[in-house]
Structure 1
């Protein structure tokens, strides 16, 4: 089958090639992939993977072989899926527990943006606890995860403050539910109850100083690539426990299907939108990768995979 595969000499260590068709386990469905999306972690892992491996966490398409054990959707079902690779190929075998049926009203390209980016944002909101009426700061708010976090926090009833790196990148965030859009953090005058942080580094330190006693910071990403150096004593003196918690949405998550069903329902109802900043044929992978690494991508990049 055709696939995007790991190649140390390729663009972002990826090139077009061929890979063996996946072997389908008894508890897996076989999907003809029609759309997949790009996440920063896939580019990082490409440098650590064996040549010939097929990356790709997110993929949406049509079930062409049902699971032999009777689990999962039937042949012909429109589905979206997650796995720790294999999504950038014409065919994917994936555990039934990591697959959800896509409503007819939801485009498969939109569904392909959900497992990692929206799933991570949803997990961050869930881990933060009740957020209705609370002040939630989202850093890196214009990115794929950030734009979903803004929406999900707003849906949960929070007052959302969206922090971005440039004035142009804040465009459209009020329509997604941001009550305030700020450049950096200097304009955040009052304490916040929850931080959903994509940036890490010095901005995480600055954001933590804004956190109210008893609040929590959900650490989702580290786009800055810089160390977070907390001044001596800056984590002390809070009346109530104030935490920084890791948000992980990779393998081993037991509620993946529940997450996907929640997200798909919100999309079908028109309450959640996928901010797609790049959309094209997977032959244009290098263009999408450059937009992501060059930080010109606003929202998600989605690949179209031509039908076999």
Structure 2
């Protein structure tokens, strides 16, 4: 008897590879059957009671009714798993999944304190987008993209998928679409720069900038901005790449912020921002040394340069990422 094996869909294989190396978001292929999952298609529709409930919860959580603050929080909480999945799949196999609202399920963390946080994503569409030379070119639901600036593809499909949410939040809350599209641009560029450095640490600053340009400097795109970029800081002979955001997340307007803003907020003076980032880098460095000391059973290990023997500065393997203040759904605040 000949044994027949079920062929794994190419996108399912890609998502499995992404999940195996990703500690930030669990991704799966196929419709989930467990509780605590919901479809954004039911949320981002006109006269949606679910959306009205989320807006009311955001008013209570953020203790403000300022339209851009509430819309920004809701959009960033929704967009980050879609952006993360699209960029991670693209970098893993040069495949971009379909992330339309009808093709996505999102999972909320357990516990009341995490009720608005998403920790898992399920994709149900068989469609995916690839380069012409994809090894699974024969898959019927595969869509070939023209060769060119490859980084445009995650941006193209993510902005199409996020357009209903952007339009509806603006209609419901009375804010401008341009402000929300800058949140999307920040999310895409920040995720691309961060994951690229984790996976390809040998990339130069110029190569990273080319990838970002393909995302957010495409003419006639709603994501177009020249404000996003990269800059570097040096600590103990090591060059740390930082991400320059396009827009403020407006956390400072909420009651919990007490007027303070994020470390990398565009409103913060450059010298002050750099000093805070260097302080954070130094704390991370010391924490790493302490961890190494414990791991080697030597609590009295002396500090030593991370780049011993390296005369010229070297780049870190990732864009530094500052954690957002507690209760804020902004994701990539770097």
- Shorter-normalised TM range: under 0.3
In the superposition, the TM-score normalised over structure 2's length comes to 0.22
Normalised to the residue count of structure 1, the TM-score between the two structures is 0.23
Larger Rg: 1 or 2?
2
Structure having the larger proportion of residues in strand:
1
